[in-house]
Chains A and B, each alone.
Chain A
Amino acid sequence: MATTLEPTTPVETPVAPASTPVLRRPTNTKGFWGWITTVDHKRIGVLYGVTAFTFFLFGGIEAMLIRLQLARPNGTFLSADLYNQLFTMHGTTMIFLVVMPISAAFFNYFAPIMIGARDVAFPRLNAFSYWTFLFGALLINSSFFLGGAPNGGWFGYAPNTSITFSPGHNIDFWVFGLQILGIASTVGAVNFIVTILNLRAPGMELFRMPVFVWMTLVASFLLLFAMPIITVALFLLMFDRNFGANFFNPGAGGDPVLWQHLFWLFGHPEVYILILPAMGIVSEILPVFARKPLFGYRVVVFSGIAIGFMGWGVWVHHMFAVGLGPWAVSAFSVATMFIAVPTGVKIFNWLATCWRGSMRLATPALFCLGFIAMFTIGGLSGVTHAVSPHDRQQTDTYYIVAHFHYVLFGGALFGIMAGIYYWWPKIFGYMLNEKLGKWHFWLWLIGFNVTFGPFHLLGLEGMPRRIYTYDKGLGLDFWNLVATIGVFIIAASILVFLYNVAHSYRFRTAAGPDPWDGRTLEWTIPSPVPAYNFAEQPEVHELDDFWHRKYGEDAEGRMVKLAPPVTEGSLNLHATDVHLPSPSYFPMVASFGLPVMAYGMIYHTYAVVAAGALILIGALYAWGLEPSTAPHVEHHEVAATEEPAAISAGEASAEQGATE
């Protein structure tokens, strides 16, 4: 009935597509081609997640090599050149190929479900984002086999990245790879903004949206406005390197500091793009495990929005040593300090959520508490950087490296890990083992602190960043060795996680739709989620709607279990009216044109650029001309393809409700 309100999933196909019948949409949703042609936001989410996790292992190996080189003074494990490639790629990988896409994986999988939608606004554009991301990532990493990886740092300061000082192709891979990744992010951001603003289920008002959805929205806006700025910076650099322009050439009057302004005007909002989704995840998980609503939902949302706005006004704190004069430095010092206020508010609100709660310390909750504990350290060291006079000592030392690892590892990655443990049963239908999860958490927490804690000391003791070697006379040996030992503890924790995945899969039992006693809509539907998400359009009446279907409050405000509803609407799996967007080849084909163009540009082979452009344009036209559906797919087929076994498992455990 209500499906007519669902834009992406029409009940009936009103117009038979008038366009060329030559183009047919694929129908197979299984196997290899099913994944290649998928436009299902959940599958795309899984693709993002798996790809990003693979790059996480890559980036981790890069980090281990870096730490092995620095374990002792005057290390000879790596050459200077390789070290420079590795630290550049470690940063680029962890930011652009790990934290951003893992966040995108969660956006993809859960943002539509949490607002009660059946897909994103533009399913094929969504697939296009993923493939573009993948090809961009592969392009950058292919440089390792094509003469050397980028070696100018993830920040690529001009004029070190100019053709004069970086004559190889290393930097070109970085320039074109990041531009392609920028396209993926911008398209994804547009898609999520439209999805969240337009496709909410009836009753899902903005201030009934889960905080994670809010943070997705804020991060998407940040992406939308930050990505074009780095695109311009990279564009100018591309013209400098490939066509002899003078943008960052001091000899022609160009100013390398312009690069820094453009880069950090992107780069600081980027920090919040990385951390806000994790904050959203923590805001979802803590209430579930504390059995209490999020303390001050609106304040948490508003502080997220405030961070999003203030993130635009602090970029110069990356440049306190540039010599921009007392006015700029003072203004940006103060602005930077005040961005700690909304961040602090979130921390206290999370703690207040746990206060007097009924804390169940399962693995997701542990990672969330770890987030609060570690992110606080990163936040506090951040305030010490904002004291700009002292930052003239701190900047470009390991003290800064410590700070942003406490924010991005202690923050973003802890939040992401919490999300992985929390949502795993929803995505794959079985739980991850709790005992192994706790081993993972404690090794992770200890390894993290053993590695990055000493960085604070090393920085204050005078160890600059981005150095492949240091002198014995600096007295930095001890803590460097400790940090290198720490990285192996982190590696061990990741092995435990991988083992956990395999072990839990082997001994899997159906998790049921609601294993954690959840609060939000994704827990109302079977695990794994059927292709159509909701058999019937959900209707939302409150914040944490699902919780309020299960629990009420007594006179004293204590939670009281309600009698389970007679028919849980969304567990009615005999949906026949659902019509899903058909798979398509063209998002992938169109994305494939981009790296082809990039290789052509890098090697100055313009025929290849033209070929890539033709692939892109041809695929976009085919995309436009292909019919909106595969004609012979009948409406009820969707329901029929569901495996009955999964359904009964889902129904069975649904009745057990909140029990473990």
Chain B
Amino acid sequence: MKRRLLPLVVALGLLLGACGRNVQPQNVLDPRAPIARRLDSLWNPVFSIAVVIFVLVEFLVVFVAIRYRRRGDDDQPKQIHGSTKLEFGWTLAPALILAFVGFFTVLNVGKLDAIPKGNDVMRVNVTGHQWWWEFEYPKLGVTTANELHLPIGERVDVRLTSADVIHSFWPPKLAGKLDVIPGRVNHMEIDLRKNVQPGYYWGQCAEYCGLSHANMRLRIVVHSADGWARWQAGQTKAPNLDLAADSSAGSGKDLFRTKGCGGCHTINGYTAGKVGPNLTHFMSRKVFAGAIFPNNAEELKAWLRNPPKQKPMMPDNGMGMPNLNLAENEITDLISFLQTLK
């Protein structure tokens, strides 16, 4: 029996351990930053203990079913009513194992839950919205959406709160998840000081937050020092709003105001809406609409034709972007304008 089960378990372990980590951007068994590694640190030992117990129990189940199968009606087994010694044993043994696991768990919890403090800590304010993320960099005076940009070498205090319902901020490869609760501020530490590579990390909202919960995704860009400097420079400069009035982008700029876009979206120096994502440097983002669409003209066109069709939303109840019933040429102009927001 054992011989038949073992390879199965080993195969399962291999699958868990190895299967396509590189093509699975949210695989939690592949931590890429110190905090995620700490969360992961007890997985292997606990999983191994679990596998041993699993094998033992499954072996016993199969064993009793085969070895003690009834051979005939005259099978008259000995009537065993119990054994204090044995029962004491299998109460104590798991208790000891669990005490051991519990001890290390508590040690780990203690190391994790401190709020990062100090002058070297970078602060980012994250606000969850139905169904997108807002990121504010108080020191830089920059507000952006859906793509969180962070520099390598920093220790980041991500301060989480919500504008509406409960969300959960989850960048699996950098840190675990932490709930984003209206009326509360939660602190998540993302430590990028060492043992982490620059790159494009995935994540998503992990607490059910209504209709388009599945479409509330997240990208985190960890920049090298150069990349960070460039991004920072790009974000802090004012957008060029000096557009020729007769150009497509120029009429798009007017439409942005007349069609009401500016009532919800901020473009620094032009509109100041607070409901939707800040679009000041819209083209610097690779994705839009809760990080579900690549930011290109084609997707933007489909989006502007009817946003709630592209992504389920409830604009009639104040949740998400309404269909503005734009004409094709208006859409083209608006996109021309948006594409100037670099």
Pair A326/B68 contact, Cβ less than 8 Å: no
Cα distance A594–B162 when bound, in Å? 38
Pair A461/B110 contact, Cβ less than 8 Å: no
> Would you call B259 an interface residue if the criterion is a C-beta within 8 Å of the partner chain's C-beta atoms?
no
Pair B42/A296 contact, Cβ less than 8 Å: no
Pair A457/B68 contact, Cβ less than 8 Å: no
CB < 8 Å: which of B58, B90, B183 contacts A255? B183
Residues of chain B within 8 A of A322, CB atoms compared: 179, 181
Contact flag A256-B76 (CB < 8 Å), given A337-B101, A380-B54:
no
Cα distance A115–B58 when bound, in Å? 34
CB < 8 Å: which of B46, B76, B176, B319 contacts A560? B76
Pair B210/A341 contact, Cβ less than 8 Å: no
> Would you call A357 an interface residue if the criterion is a C-beta within 8 Å of the partner chain's C-beta atoms?
yes
Cα distance A409–B293 when bound, in Å? 37
22 A-B contact pairs sorted by A residue (CB < 8 Å): A80-B214, A84-B213, A157-B165, A165-B317, A167-B317, A293-B79, A326-B112, A334-B105, A345-B91, A355-B68, A361-B69, A376-B58, A383-B46, A383-B98, A389-B39, A393-B177, A396-B206, A464-B206, A466-B208, A475-B25, A557-B78, A557-B79
CB < 8 Å: which of A255, A466, A475, A558 contacts B24? A475
Residues of chain B within 8 A of A21, CB atoms compared: none
Tally of contact residues, A, Cβ under 8 A: 104
Residues of chain B within 8 A of A636, CB atoms compared: none
Cα distance A474–B26 when bound, in Å? 7
User: Within B34-61, which residues are at the interface with A (CB < 8 Å)?
Assistant: 36, 38-43, 46-47, 50, 53-54, 57-58, 60-61
Interface stretch, picked from B15-23, B137-145, B224-232, B265-273, is B15-23
CB proximity of B163 to chain A, nearest CB, Å: 10
Question: Most chain-A Cβ atoms within 10 A of its Cβ — which of B39, B79, B94?
Answer: B79
Residues of chain A within 8 A of B243, CB atoms compared: none
Pair A462/B182 contact, Cβ less than 8 Å: no
CB < 8 Å: which of A157, A290, A390 contacts B208? A157
Residues of chain A within 8 A of B50, CB atoms compared: 380-381, 383-384
Sample of 9 more A-B contacts, CB < 8 Å, known A81-B211, A389-B109? A251-B183, A254-B183, A292-B78, A359-B68, A359-B69, A376-B57, A462-B26, A474-B26, A475-B27
User: Within B174-223, which residues are at the interface with A (CB < 8 Å)?
Assistant: 175-179, 181-184, 186-187, 202, 204-215, 217
Interface size class of B (residues with CB under 8 A): 35 or more
Pair B26/A330 contact, Cβ less than 8 Å: no
> Would you call A321 an interface residue if the criterion is a C-beta within 8 Å of the partner chain's C-beta atoms?
yes
Cα distance A619–B292 when bound, in Å? 56
Pair A295/B81 contact, Cβ less than 8 Å: yes
Nearest B-chain residue to A344, judged by Cβ: B94
Contact flag A386-B105 (CB < 8 Å), given A256-B166, A330-B110, A369-B61:
yes
Pair B76/A321 contact, Cβ less than 8 Å: no
Interface stretch, picked from A47-55, A346-354, A423-431, is A346-354
Nearest B-chain residue to A660, judged by Cβ: B73
Cα distance A389–B36 when bound, in Å? 9
- B interface with A by C-beta (< 8 Å): 15-16, 19-20, 23-29, 36, 38-43, 46-47, 50, 53-54, 57-58, 60-61, 64-65, 68-71, 73, 75-83, 86-87, 90-91, 94-95, 98, 101-102, 105-106, 108-110, 112-113, 130, 164-166, 168, 170, 172, 175-179, 181-184, 186-187, 202, 204-215, 217, 292, 312, 317, 319
CB proximity of A493 to chain B, nearest CB, Å: 19
> Would you call A160 an interface residue if the criterion is a C-beta within 8 Å of the partner chain's C-beta atoms?
yes
CB proximity of B47 to chain A, nearest CB, Å: 7
Cα distance A296–B91 when bound, in Å? 12
Cα distance A30–B128 when bound, in Å? 60
CB proximity of B295 to chain A, nearest CB, Å: 15
User: Within A222-280, which residues are at the interface with B (CB < 8 Å)?
Assistant: 250-251, 253-257
**How many A-B residue contacts, CB cutoff 8 Å?**
313
Pair B61/A460 contact, Cβ less than 8 Å: no
Contact flag A333-B102 (CB < 8 Å), given A160-B165, A358-B77:
yes
Nearest A-chain residue to B160, judged by Cβ: A323
CB < 8 Å: which of B41, B79, B87, B187 contacts A349? B87
User: Within A17-54, which residues are at the interface with B (CB < 8 Å)?
Assistant: none
Cα distance A397–B207 when bound, in Å? 9
Contact flag A393-B186 (CB < 8 Å), given A333-B109, A345-B90:
no
Pair A340/B94 contact, Cβ less than 8 Å: yes
Residues of chain A within 8 A of B71, CB atoms compared: 358
CB proximity of B41 to chain A, nearest CB, Å: 8
CB proximity of A261 to chain B, nearest CB, Å: 13
Cα distance A253–B73 when bound, in Å? 71
Residues of chain B within 8 A of A386, CB atoms compared: 101-102, 105
Cα distance A376–B178 when bound, in Å? 29
Pair B109/A330 contact, Cβ less than 8 Å: yes
- A interface with B by C-beta (< 8 Å): 79-81, 84, 151-153, 157-160, 165-167, 250-251, 253-257, 290-293, 295-299, 321-323, 325-326, 329-330, 333-334, 337-338, 340-341, 344-345, 347-349, 351-352, 354-361, 369, 372-373, 376-377, 380-381, 383-384, 386-390, 392-397, 456-457, 460-471, 473-476, 553, 556-560, 658-659
Pair A292/B80 contact, Cβ less than 8 Å: yes
Pair A372/B90 contact, Cβ less than 8 Å: no
Cα distance A79–B211 when bound, in Å? 10
Pair B90/A160 contact, Cβ less than 8 Å: no
Pair A334/B94 contact, Cβ less than 8 Å: no
Residues of chain A within 8 A of B204, CB atoms compared: 464
Pair A557/B80 contact, Cβ less than 8 Å: yes
Pair A394/B53 contact, Cβ less than 8 Å: no
Cα distance A393–B27 when bound, in Å? 10
Residues of chain B within 8 A of A392, CB atoms compared: 39, 112, 175-178
CB proximity of A181 to chain B, nearest CB, Å: 22
Pair B57/A372 contact, Cβ less than 8 Å: yes
CB < 8 Å: which of A165, A323, A457 contacts B15? A457
Pair A467/B79 contact, Cβ less than 8 Å: no
Cα distance A325–B179 when bound, in Å? 12
CB < 8 Å: which of B42, B68, B106 contacts A390? B42
Residues of chain B within 8 A of A296, CB atoms compared: 81-83, 87
Pair B179/A323 contact, Cβ less than 8 Å: yes
CB proximity of A359 to chain B, nearest CB, Å: 5
Cα distance A471–B24 when bound, in Å? 11
Pair B58/A373 contact, Cβ less than 8 Å: yes
Nearest B-chain residue to A355, judged by Cβ: B64
User: Closest 5 interchain pairs by CB?
Assistant: A462-B26, A392-B176, A250-B183, A467-B214, A296-B82
Nearest A-chain residue to B24, judged by Cβ: A475
CB < 8 Å: which of A330, A463, A467, A560 contacts B105? A330
Residues of chain A within 8 A of B29, CB atoms compared: 460
Residues of chain A within 8 A of B202, CB atoms compared: 462, 473-474
Pair B43/A390 contact, Cβ less than 8 Å: yes
CB proximity of A354 to chain B, nearest CB, Å: 4
Cα distance A322–B178 when bound, in Å? 6
Pair B105/A351 contact, Cβ less than 8 Å: no
Contact flag A558-B64 (CB < 8 Å), given A340-B98, A373-B58, A467-B214:
no
CB proximity of A65 to chain B, nearest CB, Å: 16
Pair A344/B73 contact, Cβ less than 8 Å: no
Pair A387/B76 contact, Cβ less than 8 Å: no
CB < 8 Å: which of A84, A255, A462 contacts B28? A462
Residues of chain B within 8 A of A255, CB atoms compared: 183-184
Nearest A-chain residue to B94, judged by Cβ: A344
CB proximity of A519 to chain B, nearest CB, Å: 12
Nearest A-chain residue to B38, judged by Cβ: A389
Nearest B-chain residue to A303, judged by Cβ: B91
Cα distance A357–B67 when bound, in Å? 9
Cα distance A160–B70 when bound, in Å? 56
Cα distance A126–B110 when bound, in Å? 50
Residues of chain B within 8 A of A475, CB atoms compared: 20, 23-25, 27
CB < 8 Å: which of B57, B75, B105, B112 contacts A373? B57
CB proximity of B164 to chain A, nearest CB, Å: 7
Contact flag A256-B183 (CB < 8 Å), given A167-B317, A326-B109, A380-B50:
yes
Pair A337/B102 contact, Cβ less than 8 Å: yes
